[in-house]
Amino acid sequence: MVDWEFKEKYDLNDFIRLIDVLRGPGGCPWDAKQTHESLRHNAIEEAWEVCDAIDEGSADHLREELGDLIMQVIFHASIAKENGGFDLDAISDEACKKLVHRHPHVFGSVKADTPEEVLTNWDAIKRADRGQQSVASAMDGIPRGLPGLMRSEKIQNKAAKLGFDWPEVSGAMDKLREEVGELQEGIDAGDVENIKEELGDVLFSAVNVARFYDLDSEALMHSACAKFIRRFRYLEEHAAARGLRLEDMTLGQMEQIYQEARRELEGKEPVPVDIP
């Protein structure tokens, strides 16, 4: 039995010690085996689950997911400490110093009265701290582990701050149409490498259109996925109600019910579907 005190209510210090217990002698074999590298995807997953809880609007769910995200930070600090590196206090020290340094309008004499001015100052300080002499080098500093749509939005925003941007959304739409045309040329030629390149350009250009309306392209993609799932669930349920299995249906039959789902779920007048 490990040395652990059961309590009615735990605090952050208990959380830190719990991870050490789990990784220590007599603890959990899985926890003890983990490394920074093995936990890499866990941190990404937990961060997105926090986003899901925020979208859901549930305080209870958000509290739970934030706990899982904090656990990732504590876990990495525990691993580093065991290897003779930093600990959670060192993480806190560096984070506090960084925040003070990047808020000269709060802790210094710099003037920044609007959120926009704050972000401008923040970006300038961040680039100076990292020795980034150009916008291109700042783009290189955008984490490659970010979801692709989010990363492309950040890259485009940095370029836009220097005026490298369409003055109106019509320019972005023209570029999107151009890239779709080039994608079609690659498809017509059966050139897979060209298709890969042009499809990436299409996605990048679509993100640019979203930027003109201050839309979060990553959130838009999640919404599109959720919409597809709702419609596909409708398709499954209504096919079953007709005594049909998707495995035995043609694409045309499934498409008829899917279009029915689109209209009904959007509150439009349903069109009778006659499945042959």
Coil/strand/helix, residue 196: helix
Inside any domain, residue 134: no
CA distances from 254 to 132, 224, 227, 244, 247 (A): 53, 19, 17, 10, 10
CATH number, domain of 52, equals 1.10.287.1080
R_g of the chain computed on alpha carbons: 25
| CA atoms of 157 and 82, how far apart (whole Å) | 40
| CA atoms of 25 and 13, how far apart (whole Å) | 20
208 & 230 share domain: no
Please name the residue that has the structure tokens 């926890």: 31
Last residue of a domain, one of 76, 99, 122: 99
| CA atoms of 240 and 176, how far apart (whole Å) | 40
Inside any domain, residue 39: yes
Inside any domain, residue 3: no
| CA atoms of 180 and 205, how far apart (whole Å) | 9
208 & 248 share domain: no
Give the residue numbers spanning the domain of 181.
166-215
Contact of 260 with 238, CB cutoff 8 Å: yes
pLDDT on residue 270: 55
pLDDT on residue 133: 63
Inside any domain, residue 204: yes
Angle ∠(154,155,159) on CA atoms, nearest 5: 115
| CA atoms of 202 and 271, how far apart (whole Å) | 33
pLDDT on residue 114: 94
201 & 229 share domain: no
Phi and psi dihedrals of 166, rounded to 5? -70, 140
Greater confidence (268 vs 98) lies with 98
| CA atoms of 264 and 8, how far apart (whole Å) | 50
Number of domains in the chain: 3
Inside any domain, residue 195: yes
Inside any domain, residue 121: no
Inside any domain, residue 124: no
> What tokens does 104 get?
């000269």
Residue 206, class by beta-carbon neighbours within 10 Å (0-12 exposed, 13-18 middle, 19+ buried)?
A: buried
User: Quick check: 272 pLDDT over 60?
Assistant: no
- Residues 246-251: what's their mean pLDDT? 92
What share of residues in the chain are helix, strand, coil (percent, to 5)? 70, 0, 30
211 & 243 share domain: no
Greater confidence (52 vs 187) lies with 187
pLDDT on residue 145: 80
User: Quick check: 151 pLDDT over 90?
Assistant: yes
Q: Which residues, at least 6 apart from 43, have a Cβ–Cβ distance to it below 8 Å? A: 69, 72, 76
| CA atoms of 86 and 226, how far apart (whole Å) | 41
Band of residue 276 on the pLDDT scale cut at 50, 70, 90? low
